[in-house]
Amino acid sequence: MFSKILIANRGEIAVRIIKTARRMGIRTVVVHSDADAGSMAVEMADEAIHIGPSPAAESYLVQDKIVEAVRRSGAEAVHPGFGFLSENPVFARRLEAEGIAFIGPNPHAIEAMGDKITSKKFAAQAGVSTVPGYMGLIESDDHALQIANEIGYPVMIKASAGGGGKGIRVAHSDADMAEGFSAVKAEALTAFGDDRVFLEKFIIDPRHIEIQVLGDKHGNIVSLFDRECSIQRRNQKVIEEAPSPLLDDATRKAMSEQAVALARAVNYNSAGTVEFVAGQDRSFFFLEMNTRLQVEHPVTELITGVDLVEQMIRSAAGERMAFGQDDLKIDGWAIESRIYAEDPYRGFLPSIGRLVRYDQPEEGEQDGYTVRNDSGVREGDEISMFYDPMIAKLNTWAPTRLAAIEGMKRALEDTHLQGVGHNVPFLAAVMDQERFRSGALSTSYIKDAFPDGFRGAAPDRRRTDILIATAAAMNEILTEQSGDPSDRTDWIVLIDRDAHGVSLGYDDEEALTLDLAGEDRALQLSDIDWRPGLAQFRGVLDHEPFTAEVARIADGFTIRTGATTARVRVLTPRMAALFARLPEKQAADTSKLIQSPMPGLVVSIAVEVGQEVKAGETVAVIEAMKMQNILKADRDGVVKAVGARAGDPVAADDVLVEFA
């Protein structure tokens, strides 16, 4: 077994690998860029080596620097994590030539499966179900249009060397193909240095299901069952679970057998994932194979009890797998929510900045569920523009799927972030949706469930009760601590502009009771855990625990419970009557503006002053975090002014184009 390994990665996956290595008694070395000099991974590792400037192309992707760091540290092996060099066969071969173990599959397997065109040909030869498509070299835009019409729309345009949701478009028409083909080639060249593109039939209402495989250097390969990854946004997975709610035992067995057969065909060793696109009828087709550890690997670990990082290390060290297929079984259900620094209220655009506050849920066994939180950042850390904006992978396990969902709802409530935009309210909204809870998933879930974008959620009865009880209790605590307690028991709680009359009292157990006017019912709030200055209010409402995110404002509170955020005021009946007469402030009119949705670089401005533009026409292209974002006009108009040009850096909300 190795005594020291080098981790050629950063963030939460570097932290994740360090934890397993520590348990195995293996010392760790991490490499880091300028941006990661004070990171959590650097703090946790036994050694840290600086390898260059913040851009990945000048640090984490430079093989010479990684190899030199291995030599300097005396590490015997390299774990690449995911992304960066993890699926680069040239890097794996170089380590092999240098006498350094690569904690991953053999270079042949990486090469055969890493190229999407080659892998689909290979899979077809191995008898694996494949999607109809064109895997050869596409010579021109006209050639792409010809192929698309032969396959039949809708068609998916994908970068051959792609990954992480980058370099993918779906074309529903010749116009989509003409625009999308060029955009995918440009993204692919920027992100992967390879602009080859292939086309395949897009399956209607598909699901994304994958099989985790694991192999050693002695020819042993097993399936660790399936994961459902259908909840996606811009082809980036957001919520994953294991097992899939779609599959029956027969389909699960068939998918696993195909995945193992494909892995066996390339003498696969280490952890890998065979991804399938599945129809709602449980038909399935090979999508690609990821020859590395997947982001969503924790859900598989939670239902099987197998530490995949440990098994990767043992395989790389030449150890024989200590278990076989018959030793593995599915135990319970696990769900993962990817917490990103992004603003769901602005189309999930990346958000950068400092984590001013980061309160995490307690890990381990809770009341009926288990929490695991894989994070690579701490309170005070910077979310950098140079890397993926992931903050954490929040996981819950329970004996059943619904119990795991309820556990996730509580874990999300116990997560508090300030300083950057984040998607926790969105994740909470999904957990509350009946469609998700029923397991009726597809890769279009987010678009179907939120056709107009995410705007939060209106409070249901439970959320409304939490808003009322939380605001009333906070008001009581504040008046008592101010030294001016009131004997008043009748209040009006305004949730935005909806009025709720309450009468307050205390029962024999000192729990706060709230009689709701006109509703013939009362609420009981106990176990209150809040004092001025705390950002989270905890309590038990009608025997169910909850956590709400709270902040004081000039005339009341801002309270978030789940996906619902509201401005809540606790007023006397007289003040509430006067407040109802105040006019509502109107939001500024931005309907004639095209604004940059995020900080980024202007790739192109497609219009000029005086030009007539039709709704749906491309106006500008902004690049941020290696993704090109095409901005289109949402109405007909004439361009009055252009506020930027190609090559300009822009901030969020900068005006790019103004219409007359």
User: What residues are labeled active site?
Assistant: 288
Q: Helix 116-125 and helix 107-114: axis angle, to 10°?
A: 100
Q: What is the DSSP string of 550-591?
A: EEEETTEEEEEETTEEEEEEEE-HHHHHHHTTSPPPPPP--T
What single DSSP character describes residue 325? G
Q: Is the peptide bond before 583 cis (omega within 30 degrees of 0)?
A: no
Q: Identify the sign of the CA torsion 177, 182, 183, 188.
A: positive
- Amino acid letter for position 144: A
What 3-state DSSP class applies to 355?
coil
Question: Alpha-carbon distance 135 to 120, whole Å?
Answer: 8
23 exposure class (CB count in 10 Å sphere: 0-12, 13-18, 19+): exposed
CA distance 415 to 549: 9
User: Under a CB-based contact definition with an 8 Å cutoff, are residues 343 and 421 in contact?
Assistant: yes
Question: Quick one: three-class SS letters along 83-100?
Answer: CCCCCCHHHHHHHHHCCC
**Can you tell me the distance from the alpha carbon of 204 to that of 202, in angstroms, rounded to the nearest whole number?**
6
> How many other β-carbons are positioned within 10 Å of the β-carbon of residue 350?
23
- Count the residues in the chain: 660
Per the rule left: phi > 0, alpha: psi between -120 and 50, beta: everything else, 510 is left
